[in-house]
Amino acid sequence: MVITDPVYFIALPLLTAFLLPLFGKIYKPLIGIIPGLVFAFLAYISFDLYLNLVPGKPIIIQMAGWAPPWGINLVFSEFSGLIVTLITFLAFLVWVYSYNFKKVGFDNSKKYFTLLMLMVAGSIGVVLTGDIFNMFVFLEITAIYSYGLTAFYKGRDSAEAAFKYLLLGSLSSVFILLAILLLYKQVGTLNMADIAVKAQSIDPKMKSIIAILFFVGLGIEAEMFPMNGWVPDAYSQAPGPVAASFAGMLAKSGIYALIRVFYTVLEVKGVFDLLLIMGLLTIIFAEFSAMRQKHLRRMLAYSSIGQMGLIMVAFSFNTKAGIFAGLFLMFNHAIIKTLLFLSSGFLTYSTKQKKIRDLDGFGKIMPFTSLMFGLGAFAIVGLPPFSGFWGKLNMLVATADSNLYFVIALILLVAVVEIVYYFKVIGRLYFRQQHKDVEVHNPTWNAILAMSILAIVIIGVGIYPDLITDYLTKATNELFDKAGYIHSVLPNLSLN
Amino acid sequence: MQEFLTYSIYGTAFFLMLLGLYAVLMKKNLVKIVIGLTVLDSGLNLLFVAVGYISGGTAPIFSPAVVGKHVIMTDPVPQALVLTAIVIGFGVTAVALALVVRLYRKHNTTNIDEIKNLKW
Amino acid sequence: MYNDKESQKIVDIIQNYARKHSLFILAYGTGCGAIEIPPTMTSRYDAERFGIRGSATPRQADVLLITGYLATKSLKRVIKVYEQMQDPKYVIGFGSCTINGGMYWDSYNTINVLDKYLPVDVYINGCMPRPEAVIAGFVKLQKLIQQGKADGWDIYKKNIDEYKANQKKIITNWVMPDFNF
Amino acid sequence: MEGIGYKILGAVLTTILAFVVGMFYGGFSRKIIARIQNRVGPPVWQNFLDVLKLLFKKTSVRYGLMHHFAPLWMITMSITTLMFVPVLNDGLFFSNLNFSGDIIFLLYIMVFGSLGMALGAGSTGNPNSAIGVSRGLTQMVGFEIPWVMALVALMIQYKTTSVTGLMEVQSQSGTWLMFSSPFAFIAALLAMPGMFRYSPFDIVGAPAELASGPISEFGGKYLSTMMTSGSIFAFVKLTLYVDLFMGGASNLIVLVLKTFTLYMYPVLWGAVSARFRTEQSVRYFWGWPTFFGFIALIYAAF
Amino acid sequence: MNSLVLLILIIAGGALLSYFGHKINKILGNITVFAVALIIPIYWFTQVDFTETVSFTVSGFHMELGYNMYGKLFSMIVMILSPLALIYAIGYMKDQKKLATFYFSFLFSILGMTGILMSRDFVSLFIFWEIMTWSSYLLVIFLGKDVQKTGIKYMVFSAIGAYAMLMAIVIIYKNTGSMMLSDYFGSFAGFTLQTKLLTGILLLLGFAVKSAVMPLHVWAPGAYSNTPMAYTSVFSGALSKMGIYGLGFVVVNLFAQANLEIVGYVLAWMGAITAVLATFSAVFQHDAKKLLAYSSIAQLGYIVTGIGIGTELSIMAGLYLAVLHAAFKGVLFMVVGAVERQAGTTDMNVVSGLARKMPFTFFTALIAIIALAGIPPLGGFVGKWMLYESLINNSNFLMVIMIFLSSTAAFLYCFKFLFGLFLGQQEPEFDHVKEASPVMIIPMLLLSVFLLVTGAYPGIVFKYVAEGMTNLGFHDVNWQMSVLTNAWGDSVNVQHVYLSVVVVFVAFLIFITWRGYKHSTKISTKDISSSGEMIKPEDNMTYAMDFYKPFQRVLQPILKWKINKYYEDFGKGLEALFDFMRRIYTGNGQTYAVYVIIFLAILLIFSKSIFGY
């Protein structure tokens, strides 16, 4: 179909984002409505494209008419399509959630939606692009607007958080750029498929340096252990829906870039072991820090890091089961963390209630939001019958497949810690006497709608995971099938 | 001579990068850190251009002057990339400076060690 | 069984025989008479050969020994103990204090005549009575029981109003639960 | 021979026998203690008189149903235990239900009365009763351990858990178990005074401190039933010891001789000893008796 | 439609209906709960086809539901006890708030238990296990007391258990390629010893947590005593049995078959130690709820011992005790709940003499306590007897002594429970106390009747126990309606016992009541023989505080040793470690940048060992 061209994923939000202030001049409510229309359209086309995708035949768009490996191309395959669909779906929900945010004291929706749309465009770009420099550009786009979104609120310490994020983000961009530079120097091409073909001939020493640079640079974006200092600050200082989209989109695009680079582009021996170790360290440090958090959002942020670590571990097995589990975890993390951040957005809206301690008895005064938070917490720690369980189960099965019993034990031990801190919050929300002066911001109808949709997805997938397992399997096969990817991007190339 | 030039450019680039990195890691002033970032970026960009340069190459422009002649052109791709990178670096610097201003207003200092409201 | 007069008589005989030979005493050791109980019970005089044996609680006791003078305060307690005892029950007054006040005859806070407040079956006179006298008193009580004449408990029940009136004259702050039959 | 009437008659006769013998034992013990204390002492039938008198006494108060039931629990326990203990080696007349129960059952049914009694005592609201019960139960935990150790040793050694089985073992081998399993016997013997609650283990119902403890609110018929039960139970316990360790008895005279000999042991010990505190007695029972019990177990198992 | 799926749907639907019913209106909600409580057991007993199975494949895992006889036995516990507790809850929770949550969680935990017992594969087992766990967690913290400690402790231990199980499941899947229980059992013999032990012991760990075996029991006292009592009766009565269920099939079907009886033996020892120590703890509690909680742990210890020994008689004893424990602990927790509701407290130092005010409650408590103490002629004795006999037959003499010590010491707390709450002096401050409402009394009475009947006819339970044991590999289990026989052929005829006790009791009842009861007056508990001392109505003479002080002095060396404290110290140490670890996030952006560079440097330096170059 003409209208469902993947280019729209990037072009449309980029365009409308900058036009948004103009629309605002014409008719003020358009500021709220236009992004919604865009996101809805994006979600529609992504679903449409994804559901109509022929297996083994990804949609490849050549920008400006140049065929790969010379031109930039967009690849909408089972894997990237899945992530894009997820991102657009979440973006739409985030819009639904924040459409009426003004009602509870959220101003500046113009800037907000502009930045949000740009960020979404960037993340989609990262996922879709088939060009490694293009990926860098999109990562930077995403990052810059994320800085803006992080620093969105004026009263808080958001500038501090944004600055830290910016500092690390810039370093990340330097390393990625350096890696691309070295890669380009070696292979003379920027197309990922082409690099993948030619990468075999690179000097292994150089290759490992490139891999290290990519690892560090993308690791910052993917919230890897020693480089994730920005995450808790950014997540906790950004507005609720922004934190949700960070977890749902930003982190996803980061991890996507990481696994795309190491699965498809660069085949480096040992990087997966490194990823495993770093993933485990990420999990351990993040979850242990989360355990001792007093602020709800910071806790969620650390938990988010932990989940990312889990995803890294899953992808580090380099097996089909591992990828499948990783994808499942990504899906879960995107959906559930979004729900958690969205609900915590209302719970911690007032500056008075930032700490977990302040939320005693909120189950009674904010029943729906608390319920959603509780549901999210149940799901994220992997309790059945919610979707988190299946992710965890698949993850563990994959781990066992790789004979890594100690990893299972470690993951499960950390999961106990996770349970502890989430259930502490639930206990406080529901089974405590509430404090005297609390400021309640009841969710608006659209927020309720957004959260309900997420909850329904969580429960639906939890009860019947086969709703998504087919797609995940397809995506797995796509990611695992490196030759297939190269072949579909570069149809004329004959391997060997 | 040509080689020396090439290596000196590489050297300058790495020097600039290290200088920038030093500023980012060691300087306590926010503005200096931002400057360090910019220097780091510049070094990187220089490196990029240097990598793309082929000795004796001309500008990669198909002008009437070069049509039909056997001319060595420098690789155009890194130059294009550098342009993008510069733009991105500019954007980042702008955001960074804006943030520095806000941080200064809030904390009344530009010492990064004192801006630690968010920790652990 | 009890309706038949003859068998009633036989039952009475057995009953009185058993009662007579098994006297559980509850010694209310108010005065100096309490000193005389141990020699009575222990090896020199050995009251146990008559079936007399100490009992710790009023629920099980048959005989209440009032061993000496009774202050008004202790009268309350004695009455309570007596009322907690189960029928049939006997009271033995020790020494002259229980008979007419003895050396405390003009004391402001002792009672003079115990019989006004509790139905005494046997008095043992002396100040204090020696164990021989005590045992003699018990033997007297046993005889009375055999003859069915030791019916102080019955008299108390019949003349309860009179007794209570007398008791209330002495004990002004009466917080005792009412007597259970 | 197997008629139900015959059975009932046997049961009633056993009960009466146990009652009479137990009563006389009580009388003898009073007499003997009196003689030790250089007294004349009451006649040996004094206990009958006491029971009879208490029976004729009026019971005019009660604290409720538990108080009313307490003596019933006790007598039920005593008689039921009696029914399940073989009184004579092969006296059909006295073999009431003893093929329907075994040692473990006996151990448990023996507690039935104590607990019921404790409940009755508790329901009176008398603090002395409660203290007595607390002490009694604690002491029970003490002496049950060596006693059970001895029994388990016997059971494991001879591969039978029934009293009749152990008696058969003795009649077949011709030696009493007190000789063939000496450690078990020592343990059981050392635990025995606790079971009889004679001095030094009589803190449960110490008359001077606790106003006779658990039974302090029981008089009249209640007390008489309890005394009956106590004497039956004394007989049962002695018979059980004799059955287990001294080869049982083939006729009543032998039975009486053996049980009386055994009975003298706690009585005489009690006559000359002072009272243990509760924790002292528990420590005693968990000391040497348990040690011997342990040795008996090891002896039995290996 | 498949009756098993329908059963699950009915319970889930019931949960939702009760939830919304209570959201709308309390009366409507209560009616719904009552209806659900009736429908579930009726459906189970009449409509469920126990031979039916249903299987489906989800996310690549083959799952199958279907009863076996062993599961049916435990299901029966759930299906009888839970509805009664639900009905009881209607009365008990009348004045509480958040009833919607309560009944929702309650029914979901029933759903979890039902599911566990019909799962034939590990995935559904684990799913239902977790459903049961979180729903019970919600109920543990329902009252909001001690959320931090009790709830977290419960959840942590449950999670450790569940995840141990999950790990075992995953390893099993790795080794057999199937999630079916039967495949695991079938191929167990072929595993290496390491795998055998690893999977089996991890599974055991998971189940042992729920059955509160010694080092893992720490959650139980708090969880049992802080939960609304209506649920605790299910919690202790039925939910803990899920652990027993699992232990049973793991120990018997796996280890015993693979000549690894030693595992069962160790487990039995742990059970025995649990029984002793928990009993000692129970004796010194002054809160009736805590007392019962510890008592539950001790009782579960007996059951675990029985299962662990693994002989026919001992397993029979264990399963029989499991059924009985459900009944009497169910009653007892309901009793405590009734007392708590009517008198406002269950502190035995405060409350006393309620037997006069709550006679029915007292009666049921008495029956249950007699059964618990294992005193003949009630049903509890049967289980105890079988347990002892099986241990003696196995010559496990030390274990016998430990169990005996435990159950003798159990008399202490049994008495204390009855005495502390119901006996002793009736205080004027509890004059207003009334008997609990019939809704609460009737479930208690029904369970008490069951206890009374099993005393004479334990065979009605044996029937199902024997059926269940066929699934544990014991076919032709020998049982009789009322005669118990051990391996050496010695027997007890409980019917004779019952007969003897009843005849003697009735005979003397007549004797003692005749011309006694009617002529006597019921007097106040303040009217005691007190050496003439005047006791005023407001004086409390009940001796309840430090009831077993002498015993405490004897046990001082043992009681000093508190496992709970070690766990708490460990937890605190961990928290300190976590606090230390999170210092890495210093809050200084520059430090983070330094981390990045250091990480990069490390990677570059060690790139040879990581990447090979």
Predicted local confidence at residue A496, as pLDDT: 46
How many domains are there within chain E? Answer: 2
Which of C99, C88, C95, C60 shows the shortest CA–CA distance to C145?
C88
pLDDT tens by residue, D158-176: 888 888 888 888 888 888 8
- Rounded CA gap, D45 and D27, in Å? 6
Does residue E442 share a domain with residue E373?
A: yes
What are the tokens at A419?
Answer: 């349970």
For residue D210, what are its two tokens?
């606790």
pLDDT at residue E573, rounded to an integer: 92
Most confident by average pLDDT, A2-16, A101-115, D79-93, E448-462: E448-462
Alpha-carbon span A24 to A22, nearest angstrom: 5
Domain count, chain C: 1
Dist CA E39 CA E290 (whole Å)? 33
Closest C-alpha to D217, from A217, E148, A190, C61: C61
Q: CB of A288 within 8 Å of any CB in chain E?
A: yes
- Residue C34 inside a domain? The answer is yes
Q: Which of E594, B23, B47, B8 is nearest to A180 (CA)?
A: B47
In this complex, is the C-beta atom of E412 within 8 Å of any C-beta atom belonging to chain D?
yes
User: For the segment E223-267, what is each residue's pLDDT rounded down to a tens digit?
Assistant: 888 888 888 889 888 888 888 898 888 888 887 777 778 888 888
Show the beta-strand stretches assigned E in chain C: 23-28, 52-54, 63-66, 90-94, 122-124
Predicted pLDDT of residue E479: 84
Nearest chain C residue to E528 by CA: give it: C84
CB A259 within 8 A of CB A315: yes
Q: How many CB atoms sit inside 10 A of residue E519's CB?
A: 11
Buried b (16+ CB within 10 A) or exposed e, E156-165: bbbbbbbbbb
Nearest to C180 among E523, E529, E531 (CB): E523
Q: Note the pLDDT tens digit of each residue in E395-418.
A: 888 888 888 888 888 888 888 888
**Domain ranges across chain A:** 278-484
Task: Note whether residue E134 is domain-resident.
Answer: no
Q: Are E197 and E175 in contact (CB under 8 A)?
A: no
Q: Give C77→chain E minimum CA distance, Å.
A: 4
pLDDT at residue A478, as a whole number:
85
Chain D neighbours (≥3 Cβ pairs under 8 A) are C, E
> Do the beta carbons of residue E487 and residue E313 sit within 8 Å?
yes
What's the whole-number average pLDDT of chain E?
Answer: 86
The residues, ordered by sequence, that sit 6+ positions from A456 with a Cβ below 8 Å of its Cβ are none
pLDDT band at C176 (very low <50, low <70, confident <90, very high): low
Indicate which of A284, A381, A431, A471 best probes the interface with E, i.e. most E CBs within 10 Å of its own CB.
A431
- For A166, the closest of B41, B96, B117 (CB atoms) is B96
Task: Copy the structure tokens of residue E506.
Answer: 């009735």
For β-strands C90-94 and C23-28, DSSP reports them as unpaired
Residue of chain A nearest B48, judged by CA positions: A181
Placement of tokens 């009388």 in the chain: D27
Is the Cβ pair A233, B118 closer than 8 Å?
yes
E strands in C46-144: 52-54, 63-66, 90-94, 122-124
A55 vs E: CB within 8 A: no
- Mind telling me how many Å the CA of D227 is from chain E's nearest CA? 14
Burial class, D273, CB count within 10 angstroms (exposed 0-12 / middle 13-18 / buried 19+):
middle
> Closest to C87 (Cβ–Cβ): which among D34, D43, D60?
D60
Phi, psi of A59 (to 5 degrees): -80, 125
User: How is residue A354 annotated by DSSP?
Assistant: -
Distance CA A278, CA A219 (A): 9
Query: Which pair of tokens denotes residue B35?
Result: 């400057």
Q: Measure CB to CB from residue B120 to each of E582, E594, E597 and give the nearest one.
A: E582
pLDDT on residue B97: 92
Note the pLDDT tens digit of each residue in E429-441: 888 888 888 888 9
Which pair of tokens denotes residue D143?
A: 């002496």
Which residues in chain E have Cβ-Cβ distances shorter than 8 Å to B117?
A: 587
The CA distance from E421 to E287, in Å, is: 10
How many of the other CB atoms lie within 10 Å of CB of A213? 23
Residue E565: CB atoms within 10 Å: 10
pLDDT at residue C12 above 50? yes
**Residue of chain E nearest A228, judged by CA positions:** E592
What is the secondary structure of A387-429 as a DSSP string?
HHHHHHHHHHHHHHHTT-HHHHHHHHHHHHHHHHHHHHHHHHH
Q: How far is CA E490 from the centre of its chain?
A: 31
CA atoms within 13 A on the CB side of A299: 24
| Closest-CA distance of chain B to residue A13, Å | 19
Best mutation target among E580, E588, E600 (most B Cβ atoms within 10 Å) is E588
Tell me: do E268 and E393 sit in the same domain: yes
Full domain range(s) for residue C12: 5-170
**pLDDT at position E468 over 70:** yes
In this predicted structure, the answer to whether residue C51 has a pLDDT above a threshold of 80 is yes
Q: How far apart are CA E168 and CA E170, in angstroms?
A: 5
Tell me whether residue E345 is in a domain: yes
* Contact predicate E417/D139, CB 8 Å: no
From the list B33, A168, B40, the residue with the least C-alpha distance to E585 is A168
What radius of gyration do chain E's Cα atoms show?
26
Instruction: State whether C77 and E521 contact (CB < 8 Å).
Output: no
For residue E4, what pLDDT band results from cuts at 50, 70 and 90?
confident
Contact predicate A139/A121, CB 8 Å: no
Answer whether D128's CB lies under 8 Å from D211's CB: yes
Is D125's CB within 8 Å of E373's CB?
no
Domains of chain B, residue spans: 2-114
User: Is D34 in contact with C48 (Cβ distance < 8 A)?
Assistant: yes
| Residue B62 pLDDT exceeds 80 | no
CA distance E589 to chain A (A): 5
For D:66-85, CB contacts with E below 8 A are: 66, 68-69, 71-73, 75-76, 79-80, 83-84
**Residue E434 CB burial class (10 angstroms; 0-12, 13-18, ≥19):** exposed
Architecture of domain B2-114: Orthogonal Bundle (1.10)
**Assigned domain for E310 exists:** yes
Chain E contact for B112 (CB, 8 A cutoff): yes
Per the domain annotation, does C178 fall within a domain? Answer: no
Helix-helix angle E312-343:E240-248, to 10 degrees: 170
Q: What is d(CA C155, CA C152) in angstroms, rounded to the nearest whole number?
A: 5
D100: left (phi over 0), alpha (psi -120 to 50) or beta: alpha
ipTM at complex level: 0.88
pLDDT at residue D219 in the model? 80
Crossing angle for the helix pair A405-431 and E152-176, to the nearest 10 degrees: 150
pLDDT in tens, E535-575: 777 777 778 888 888 888 888 888 888 888 888 899 899 98
Q: Between the CA atoms of D280, D281, D287 and D293, what dihedral angle is there, to the nearest 10 degrees?
A: -170
d(CA A88, CA A326): 20
CB contact under 8 A, B91 and A144: yes
pLDDT tens for residues D16-55? 888 998 999 988 888 888 888 888 888 888 888 888 888 8
Cβ within 8 Å of residue D86, ≥6 positions away: D94, D95, D98, D163, D164, D167, D243, D248
The CA-CA-CA angle for residues A360, E142, A236, to 5°, reads 30
Residue of E nearest to C57 (CA): E529
Residues in chain A where the model's pLDDT stays below 50: 1-2, 104, 496
Q: What is the mean pLDDT of chain C?
A: 83
**Are residue E489 and residue E598 in the same domain, yes or no?**
no
Average pLDDT of chain D is 84
Contact D2, D92 (CB under 8 A): no
Mean pLDDT, to the nearest integer, of E25-37? 89
Residue E242 structure tokens: 């899920």
Percentage above 90 pLDDT, chain E: 8
In E93-151, alpha helices (H): 99-118, 122-140
From the list E429, E533, E424, D58, the residue with the least C-alpha distance to C176 is E533
Q: Which of residues 140-159 of D touch E (CB under 8 A)?
A: 140-141, 144-145, 148-149, 152-153, 155-156, 159
Q: How far is CA A479 from CA A146, A219, D85, in A?
A: 28, 19, 81
Task: List pLDDT tens digits, range D66-78.
Answer: 888 888 888 888 8
CB atoms within 10 A of CB C176: 15
Rg, chain C, Cα only: 16
Measured in residues, chain C has a length of 181
Does residue B64 have a cis bond before it (omega within 30 degrees)? no
E364: left (phi over 0), alpha (psi -120 to 50) or beta: alpha
Contact D185, E444 (CB under 8 A): no
Domain range enclosing E335: 260-518
Question: In sequence order, what E strands does A80-169 have?
Answer: none
Residue D179, C-beta contacts closer than 8 angstroms, at least 6 positions apart: none
Whole-angstrom Cα distance, residue D233 to residue D216? 20
pLDDT of residue C76: 82
Alpha-carbon distance E468 to E460, whole Å? 13
pLDDT of amino acid B67: 67
pLDDT at residue D1, as a whole number = 47
Give the mean model confidence (pLDDT) for residues C6-29.
Answer: 83
